[in-house]
Amino acid sequence: MASNRQLVEKADFANADLVTAGLVNPEQANRFFRRLINEPTMLRDVRAVEMDSPTRNINRLQFNKRILRAGTSATALDTAAAASSTAFDPSTAGEATSRGKPETSQVVLNTTEVIAEVDLPYDVIEDNVELGNIGEMRDVGGAPAGGGFIDTVLELMAERAALDLEELLLLGDVDLGTADTYLDLQDGVLEIVRDGGNINDEVGALVSKTTFKNGKKTMPDQYLRNINSMRHYISHDQETEYRDTVADRATG
């Protein structure tokens, strides 16, 4: 078994060393992924899908139109629709389309590669107070799996990686090119919304109750059924301005 010193001295090595050892094992990778998603960023509020291949299709099914019709005892829907002048859709009365039909679609997930490199020369960490306790990263919400220096490094990497992924989630734009090769990897939420979302442009106005009202009225009705689950994401400066506005209001 390798000593602690040998483990630490392997911290900075060539790529060829990864052929037989040194790669993060699947269990460590899963822990790192769970810790990253558990960081206090927007990543907590989005669906995270672990993928075993570069591409994955997620099926979607929904009813966007009314599916209930006036019923007639012992009469099939299409027969009743054909005989009724008050059918829901006269243009399709008597056809199979007078029955409810879900709309199907797919969400295609495409991965892009990101990398973080951390060099840990021995002379940098030789005096680290955790040097003598080399262990594995603790699981999220669980007891340490050995604790120590590796746990600390991976924990800090997960915190920073979560912030970086949140930045890509928000500000990604494939048209940036060489201006920012990281944000150029994929379109983020803001870019996707600009291309095809329901937008209420406040033209730089400070956040206020009118901002929230106008934004809510812009949303399609089908997304307004569960108000309590909604979240508003605003910048730190806008949050400060809104708190100041609320503090100044007359409450009697």
> Is residue 49 packed enough to be buried (19+ CB in 10 Å), middle (13-18) or exposed (0-12)?
exposed
136, 203: one domain:
no
Q: What domain range is 229 assigned to? A: 198-252
Cα distances (angstroms) measured from residue 215 to each of 112, 196, 204, 219: 32, 15, 14, 7
| pLDDT at residue number 176 | 93
How much is the average pLDDT of 108-114? 89
Distance in angstroms (rounded) separating the CA atoms of residues 31 and 71: 54
The CA-based angle 165-10-22, given to 5 degrees, is 55
Among residues 135, 156, 181, the one where a domain terminates is 181
Q: Which range, 135-139, 142-146, 149-153, 198-202, is most confident?
A: 198-202
How much is the average pLDDT of 172-178? 93
156, 45, 56, 160: which is closest to 114 by C-alpha? 160
Amino acid at 134: I
127 or 58, greater pLDDT: 58
Among residues 150, 181, 212, the one where a domain terminates is 181
Question: Is residue 186 in a domain?
Answer: no
Question: Is residue 171 in a domain?
Answer: yes
The band of 89, judged by pLDDT with boundaries at 50, 70 and 90, is low
Among residues 78, 101, 124, the one where a domain terminates is 101
CA 16 to chain centre: 34
249, 128: one domain:
no
Distance in angstroms (rounded) separating the CA atoms of residues 105 and 62: 9
pLDDT of 183 > 90? The answer is yes
3-state secondary structure 129-198: CCCCCCCECCCCCCCCCECCHHHHHHHHHHHHHHHHHHHHHHHCCCCCHHHCCCCCCCCCHHHHHHHHCC
203, 173: one domain:
no
49, 70: one domain:
no
Name the DSSP class of 226. -
71, 44: one domain:
no
Question: Is residue 37 in a domain?
Answer: yes
Q: Which of helix, strand or coil describes residue 106?
A: strand
Q: Alpha helix locations (H) across the chain?
A: 4-9, 26-37, 77-83, 122-125, 149-171, 189-196, 209-218, 236-248
State the chain's mean pLDDT as an integer. 75
Distance in angstroms (rounded) separating the CA atoms of residues 151 and 141: 14
Q: How many domains does the chain have?
A: 3
pLDDT of 23 > 50? The answer is yes
Name the DSSP class of 223. G
pLDDT of 54 > 50? The answer is yes
200-218 pLDDT per residue, tens = 888 888 888 888 899 899 9
| pLDDT at residue number 246 | 84
The band of 79, judged by pLDDT with boundaries at 50, 70 and 90, is low
pLDDT of 20 > 50? The answer is no
